[in-house]
Amino acid sequence: MSSIAPSPITSPSAVASSLVPSASTASASVESAKEDDEDVTIRFTDIQSLFQTINSTTGDILLVTDVSPSSFAKIEREREKRGRAFRFRRYNSDSRTLIIIILTKLHEQLHLGLYHQFHYQLFQTGMHQAWRSMGSATLRRQGHPAGDAGEGDSTGLPDPERIGMDDWPTLVIEAGDGRDSESLNWLRDDMRWWFLASNHDVKIIMLAKFDHRRRHILLERWEEQEWHPQGAMTRNRAAIQQQRGLVPILRQEITITRDAKTNPVSYNVTRGALVLGFKLLFLRDPGPGEGDFVISVRELQKYAERVWSYVRA
């Protein structure tokens, strides 16, 4: 498995603040994004205008600034009233920033294709009764019951190890098909948020990104590990120690490309099969006949074929 050196954890408020454009550039950002069919940034004014923007957005992500906690509560209620047609990827009450995910067919296939492969293996191994899918349930950051919130694309947790109303999933899958390079950074910000907001109860985070410019699928599997910094204590190292000494680690990175010159079309998978660790998923050691869940290269190729069926030429 591949890994990268630990990097300092960024707080959710700092992450969200870095995404908020200045008021002077907000209008230009919206127009530029619309022209390029990319991600859109808007300032929240009222419910009706927000839903009109959501209905006209062609990408899969919308960044909304200046959203107070009371406005967020109103948006939540209105979404349920009108029927759930989008997700709240993340809301940060400190920066008043809301990230909305538009449910395009490509976006949904990116995460559901992986989750269904995992879920199929649960049935094959007889583990389906010991697992509960949570879908995109809204979860509140621990210690912020009326503020920060997030919704994963596909999530799940073991049963009965976690059966409480406030329990967090052990597996989160997040997808993105935004056309700009920043969308991958946003996914990685989401990854950090899940680990921190859950107080590290989330154990595996899968990121599935379709890169329109490079024409490939990027899969990243993130976990956490303890890190004991060497040398002088810096502000970043002190912050890491306060977070139980855990840092996100990229355990696996897979790239899938499409070769249209072959007959039939073929899909090339780099760095082998995708592995999801049993112990992290189920919070216990595997018993007889149990083990890690492996999504093979052949299964990833089939997954890629389905994803590409929703990609515009």
Establish if 24 belongs to a structural domain: yes
Task: List the one residue out of 262, 274, 285 whose CA is nearest residue 2.
Answer: 274
Using alpha carbons only, give the angle 304, 308, 311 rounded to the nearest 5 degrees: 150
Question: Domain range for residue 214?
Answer: 12-308
If one counts the domains in the chain, the total is 1
Amino acid at 77: R
CA dist 244 to 43, 193, 201, 239, 240, Å?
36, 15, 12, 9, 7
**Torsions phi, psi for 38 (to 5 deg):** -115, -160
Render each residue's pLDDT in the chain as its tens digit; 313 residues.
433 333 333 333 333 333 333 333 223 223 333 334 445 889 999 999 999 999 888 778 899 999 999 999 999 999 999 886 799 999 998 899 999 998 889 999 999 999 999 999 999 999 999 999 999 888 988 665 556 899 999 999 999 888 877 899 999 999 998 766 567 888 999 999 999 999 999 999 999 999 998 999 999 999 999 877 666 656 665 555 555 589 999 999 999 999 999 999 999 999 999 999 999 999 999 999 999 999 999 999 999 999 999 998 7
pLDDT tens sequence across 146-175: 568 999 999 999 998 888 778 999 999 999
Domain contains 290: yes
Token digits of residue 295: 């999504």
234 located within any domain = yes
| Residue 261 included in any domain | yes
Q: Is residue 162 part of a domain?
A: yes
Asked if the structure places residue 58 within a domain, the reply is yes
307 phi, psi to nearest 5 deg: -60, -45
Query: Is 2 contained in some domain?
Result: no
Query: What per-residue string of b and e applies to 162-183 under the rule 16 or more CB within 10 Å gives b?
Result: beeeebbbbbbbbbbbbbbeeb
Judge whether 42 lies within some domain.
yes
